[in-house]
Amino acid sequence: MQKIMREQLIEKAASLLNNGTVTAVLGWGKGEFDYDVTPAVFKTEEELKAGFVWNDFCGANFSKYLVKKTDRLEGKLLVFLKPCDTYSFNQLLTEHRFDREKVYAIGVPCNGMADIAKIKAVSGEGISAVDTNGEKIAVTTIYDDAPVMIDPADVLAERCINCKSKKHVAYDELLGEEGDVIDSARFDEVARLEAMSADERFAFWQNELSRCIRCNACRDACPACTCEKCVFDNPASGVENKSPANSFEEQLFHVIRAYHVAGRCTDCGECSRVCPQNIPLHLLNRKFIKDINEFYGEYQAGETVGSRAPLVNYTTEDIEPGEVFDRRDK
């Protein structure tokens, strides 16, 4: 259950549309089954009332959409941002990827989003309704008249279990109460992988990545991946490929992508959320974040606008490559 109600968001959006502050609203659009929410642009109060939703399935991070949606837009676009989304928002501003003047950002508190796969693991297939407005999530299926009641904590998305911050780091206006940066356990799983032998770790990743179908959803949803033309889409690059040609190629794509977003990845979790094969991609990026923290001191991408990530900022105190090498077995 979210603290802020859908009606409050609609009221806010409608008033900003009606008084001319914004010309359009980027929000979550109603789907077929309560949980299949699609990012959508709303232009009138009627459209908002008919199709705007805010529930436990509004996981999509809108920050990246701002790049395209504000391009050639007349006036301002209203965007709703959850705490994690605001980090991507700042990071994109740091990289000059959209015009801040064209955006009116409203921070919305978030109690964590639900993972429909986890819900289905409890309720089974055949969902006819999901109600996330109560203390418990009520799931009705066509197979049973009585709804299955689920504790939201049991079906939280991975990234929400490991939420790093309930604090919004960017907004023009905040609805509800501000939260805090949280001490999360998000590096525990990385530490578990680090504790493995190199062979075990290789086997772990090979097994995970062997499921990859190279749909590129991870890259396309990633707010750090905003290149006009990705090397993997460019026939002239020599590495363009539409399928994993072999297991080496499969790993190459992911390793290169992880390196390219290192220091810029805010750990928003979109990659793992969208992967149709449930590959824990966030663990690759989190490994980089953990290393950066350990080598250069705590750094959170997107915490502020304009910050220079340690990897692109030389200082004489920087760790020597040799020291990194020596740590490899620790």
Partner 1 sequence: MRKCSLNAVNEVFAEIAKAAKLYLPVDQADGSAAFKEWENGVTWSSALNTVKSPKDLFFPQTEDLMAFKTEGKSIEVIDTRREVEDFVVFGVRACDVKSFEILDRVFIKEPVDSYYASKREKGVIVALACTKPSETCFCTAFGICAEEPCGDVSAWKTEDALYFRANTEKGEALMKRLEALTEECGEDAVNAQKEKTAQIMKKLPLAKLDTGAFGGGKTEQLFNAPEWDELSSACLGCGTCTFVCPTCQCYDIKDFNTGNGVIRYRCWDSCMYSEFTKMAHGNNRLTQKERFRQRFMHKLVYYPENNDGLFSCVGCGRCLAKCPISMNIVKVMKKLGGKDSE
CB 270 within 8 A of CB 261: no
Q: How many Cβ atoms are within 10 Å of 284's Cβ, its own excluded? A: 24
Buried-state track 161-177, b at ≥16 Cβ within 10 A, e below 16: ebbbbbbbbbbeeebee
Closest CB 171 distance from partner 1, rounded Å: 22
Closest CB 252 distance from ligand SF4, rounded Å: 12
Tell me whether residue 96 or residue 229 sits nearer to ligand SF4 (CB atom). Answer: 229
Tell me whether residue 39 or residue 179 sits nearer to partner 1 (CB atom). Answer: 39
Calpha distance 180→164 (Å, rounded): 9
CB 261 within 8 A of CB 285: yes
The CA distances from residue 51 to 13, 26, 287, in Å, are: 13, 12, 39
Q: Work out which of 120, 214, 260, 290 binds ligand SF4, going by CB under 6 A.
A: 214
Q: Which residues contact 67 (CB under 8 A, 6 or more apart)?
A: 92, 97, 98, 226
Chain-centre distance for alpha carbon 233: 22
Select from 135-143, 194-202, 207-215, 259-267 the region that touches ligand SF4 (CB under 6 A).
207-215
Contact pattern for ligand SF4 over residues 280 through 299, marking x by CB under 6 A: -x------------------
The option from ligand SF4, partner 1, none interacting with 124 (CB < 5 to 8 A, set by class) reads partner 1
Q: Which residues contact 192 (CB under 8 A, 6 or more apart)?
A: none
**Sign of the Cα pseudo-torsion (220, 222, 225, 228, in order):** positive
Closest CB 303 distance from ligand SF4, rounded Å: 26
Check binding of 213 to ligand SF4 (CB under 6 A).
yes
Closest CB 212 distance from ligand SF4, rounded Å: 3
Tell me whether residue 2 or residue 123 sits nearer to partner 1 (CB atom). Answer: 123
Closest CB 61 distance from partner 1, rounded Å: 11
The one-character DSSP state at 262 is T
List helix spans (H) across 57-177. 65-69, 83-94, 116-123, 158-161
CB 212 within 8 A of CB 254: yes
The pair of structure tokens assigned to 158 is: 């991975």
Select from 69-77, 125-133, 209-217, 226-234 the region that touches ligand SF4 (CB under 6 A).
209-217
The option from ligand SF4, partner 1, none interacting with 41 (CB < 5 to 8 A, set by class) reads partner 1
Tell me whether residue 261 or residue 279 sits nearer to ligand SF4 (CB atom). Answer: 279
Residues forming contacts to partner 1 in the complex (CB under 8 A) are: 31-33, 36-41, 60, 65, 117, 121, 124-128, 141-143, 207, 211, 213-217, 219-221, 229, 233, 235, 240-245, 273-274, 276-279
Check binding of 245 to ligand SF4 (CB under 6 A).
no
The option from ligand SF4, partner 1, none interacting with 121 (CB < 5 to 8 A, set by class) reads partner 1
The option from ligand SF4, partner 1, none interacting with 278 (CB < 5 to 8 A, set by class) reads partner 1
Select from 13-21, 37-45, 192-200, 276-284 the region that touches ligand SF4 (CB under 6 A).
276-284
Place of tokens 């259950």: 1
Check binding of 218 to ligand SF4 (CB under 6 A).
yes
Number of residues in the chain: 330
Q: Collapse the DSSP code of 106 into the 3-class scheme (helix H, G, I; strand E, B; otherwise coil) and give the result.
A: strand
- Chain residues binding ligand SF4 by CB under 6 A are 212-218, 274-277, 279, 281
